[in-house]
Structure formats: structure tokens, C-alpha cells
Amino acid sequence: MADHEEEPMVKIGDLNSFSRRVYTVAKVISKNEVREVTSRTDNSSHRVSEALVADDTGSILLTLWDDAIDAITEDSILKLNNAYVNVFKGSMRLNLGRYGSYEEQDEDPFEDVNLDNNISDKQVEYTRRSYGRGDRDRGRGRRY
């Protein structure tokens, strides 16, 4: 028995910038160009891309890394397990991260997908940025 059997499924339209432990089913609508990035931790090179995924309540950009870029194809149906939302350049992105996974599904549960409600298009304030006045305070949280 899988240990995430009891996890509630979430609709894309219900996600917000604080969503964690996201379990959802989505259709891959399109994939963006692949970029090369260098890891800040060990200077290794990685490939990154984004796929627009959608369900019947909305759509969001899903960040894909390395092997997942080639493995995930347009029009496939993915069950995403333990994903999370982060904010990148002011917009929400869905990520699998280190602990997330995906499974391709055989059946398409969607009669229609909702592309009008693209939650990645909405600008999001990144809340952890306000440390005080200017760069000299950056990185030091306030202590009361």
C-alpha cells in the first residue's frame, strides 16, 4: 500500500504561494525551451524547463529538471505527488523538488482544461523579502 494513499487531491485553481504537499492530476499542455543553469552549491550544470499543466480549474507552470524534461511529453496526464508551489520572478510555479514524484496516467479525466485561470500569470508578492531598510539589513531578520 502506498503511503500517500490518504493524501487529498488538490485542484490547480486552489493552489496558492504557500501550497505544500500537493497531490494533483494535471494534463501537460505545452513545454518551454530548455535552459542550461549552473548549481550554486556545486557548480554542476543542469537543464531546466517549464511545462504548462492544467486541470478543469486552472493551469500553472511546472518546473522540470534534467531527465524529467525528456520523460514528460505534451498531452500526457500526470499524477503529481508531494509537489509544492514556489514563487519565481514574481509568479507561482509548481515544483516536484527532491521529495516529489510523478506518474503518467493512462486515462484523461478532463473533458476540458481551464487555460483562462493561469495562476502563474498572477503576480505574487514574495513575502520573505522585507528585512528593513535597504541592503545593509538584508539577511538579518528582526528580533523582538
Domains, the chain, ranges and CATH?
12-128 (2.40.50.140)
CB atoms within 10 A of CB 101: 13
Q: What is the mean pLDDT of the segment spanning 123-141?
A: 54
User: How many whole angstroms from its chain centre is CA 143?
Assistant: 32
Position 16 scores a pLDDT of: 95
Longest dimension (CA), the chain: 54
Give me the pLDDT at residue 124, please: 80
Q: Which grid coordinates are listed for 105?
A: 496516467
Query: Which amino acid, 66?
Result: D
Q: What is the pLDDT of residues 73-125, one digit of tens each?
A: 999 999 999 999 999 889 999 999 889 999 999 999 999 999 999 999 988 87
Residue 137 pLDDT grade (very low, low, confident, very high; cuts 50, 70, 90): very low
Measured CA to CA, the distance from residue 77 to residue 55 in angstroms comes to 10
Tell me the pLDDT band of 4, cut-offs 50, 70 and 90: very low
Mean pLDDT computed over 119-138: 62
pLDDT, tens digit (0-9, with 9 covering 90-100), for 29-49: 999 999 999 999 999 999 999
Which three three-digit cell numbers place residue 114? 481551464
